[in-house]
Amino acid sequence: MIKSRLLAARSDLTDLSSAKRILLIIGGGIAAYKCLDLIRRLRERGHHVRVVMTKAAQQFVTPLSVAALTNERVFTDLFDLDDEREIGHIRLSRDTDLIVVAPATADLIARMAGGHADDLATAILLATDKPVLVAPAMNPRMWLNPATRRNVEQLKRDGIDFVGPAIGEMAERGEAGPGRLVEVPDLLAAIESRFSSTSDAKPLSGCRVIVTSGPTHEPIDPVRYIANRSSGKQGHELAAAAARLGADVTLVSGPVSIAEPAGVRIVRVSTAEEMLAAVKHALPADIAIFAAAVADWRVATPNTSKIKKSTSDAPPALTLAENPDILKTIAQLRKGRPPLVVGFAAETNDVVAHAKKKLKSKGADWIVANDVSSPIGVMGGERNAVHLLTSAGVESWPEMSKTEVAIRIVTRAAAHLATLKRDAAE
């Protein structure tokens, strides 16, 4: 009780004009414990949080713990006589600015996609006219199961937003892959970015944005290829952030195994040559962000059949050819060049020095540089620490989630584009 009073007192000191009403639906799963920290952080920012817990969620987190943090009653039962006397599930579905479902299990996602309303959580979700953000959490095989993929695609078509899942080790011993609930800072950033996207001000409304993401796969033979460790997480987050600010976004993605961002046009490619062709086809654009980790080299003539290992012969020699430089090609267009071209530089040493050379040689407006030798595991990880290089100098940002990095970059890009347009009009 003392802790909840302190949280409430801190909330009173927050700018109430930015406070939002959030309805958090906690699903059943071991990751439910993360919601306690999420509630605390949302309250610290002045947001009003009410919670609905499924029956399964109560096996992992107690309603008493949640109530102590929200300083509110926790809702659990569709057939509560006191609440339903006033049509409680309808009131809960409307009296909010955003509904967050976390963790969203495979079962809960399936029932949402099927339009079920057999408990309080699904009844609210079916009755709401408010934006919904879903944070999945489940075993990797459940997430990759065709049934779950169909359900997720259906919900995306219905206008439901997703954040995650993250990739990593699971609670089950020996299990790893996509299916972890995103970390609380990432979930918090995704929630607050929805508020900016639902406000009247959408600074990228009417703008076209191209984002490249992920690795490229350059074939050696039908079963082997040259690639890198890029997960595509940063590029996908950039595309999602731009879409939430009102942009018409084309995401050109190499082969990845992460969830697709909502509200963007996705073009899937494999090789660097295919990626360049897709980018050219997506022009014209106001902003082009090249976050993909494109392979510098490809095999000049890939084998049409699998290269067989032989004990008598020497290892086969691979003749390499240089791939097209997508960033440089677009940045140096004489006609149709986007007003803002942003490149990424993944380095293992002398990060800023190499990025400065790249900014000049490629002709880009900005370079976002990071150290991929870092112990935080940038490639394939959830966090990033970047340097933003512009004509004005170098800004070194602290380590943060890739969601937060994306929001910062896209918000800055929107402001820069507005300045360019204002200067052109004067």
Q: Tens of pLDDT along 102-145?
A: 899 999 999 999 999 888 899 989 988 888 999 998 988 889 89
Residue ranges of the chain that CATH labels 3.40.50.10300: 208-425
pLDDT in tens, 231-266: 999 999 999 889 988 899 999 999 998 878 878 999
Chain mean pLDDT for the chain: 85
- Concatenated DSSP letters for 396-417? EPPPEEHHHHHHHHHHHHHHHH
Q: Is the omega angle on the peptide bond into residue 339 within 30 degrees of 0, that is, cis?
A: no
Query: Over 70: is that where the pLDDT of 8 sits?
Result: no
User: CATH for 208-425, among 1.10.30.50, 3.30.465.10, 3.40.50.10300, 3.40.50.1010?
Assistant: 3.40.50.10300
Residue 290 is assigned to a ligand binding site: no
The verdict on whether 151 is a catalytic residue reads: no
Task: Identify the active-site residue in 71, 145, 228, 303.
Answer: 228
Per the model's pLDDT, the better-predicted residue between 90 and 274 turns out to be: 274
Closest CA to 11 of 48, 51, 50, 44: 44
pLDDT for the residue 4: 42
pLDDT for the residue 374: 58
User: Which CATH class for the 2-198 domain?
Assistant: alpha beta
State the pLDDT confidence band at 15, using cuts at 50, 70 and 90.
very low
State the pLDDT confidence band at 194, using cuts at 50, 70 and 90.
confident
pLDDT for the residue 378: 53
Residue 79 is assigned to a ligand binding site: no
Residue 326 is assigned to a ligand binding site: yes
Residue ranges of the chain that CATH labels 3.40.50.1950: 2-198
Matching residue, tokens 């952080």: 41
| Whether the model pTM is above 0.75 | no
pLDDT for the residue 3: 41
Residues 6+ apart with CB under 8 A from 313: none
pLDDT for the residue 291: 97
Query: Over 70: is that where the pLDDT of 364 sits?
Result: yes
Query: Over 50: is that where the pLDDT of 16 sits?
Result: no
Cα–Cα separations (whole angstroms), residue 25 to 28, 39, 112, 317 = 10, 11, 12, 57
Q: Which of 72-81, 164-173, 179-188, 409-418 has the lowest mean pLDDT?
A: 164-173
State the pLDDT confidence band at 375, using cuts at 50, 70 and 90.
low
Residue 306 is assigned to a ligand binding site: yes
Q: Quick check: 76 and 52 in contact, CB under 8 A?
A: yes
Q: Which of 155-169, 263-277, 373-387 has the lowest mean pLDDT?
A: 373-387
**How many Cα atoms within 13 Å fall on the side-chain side of residue 267?**
17
331: which DSSP letter?
A: H
Residue 296 is assigned to a ligand binding site: yes
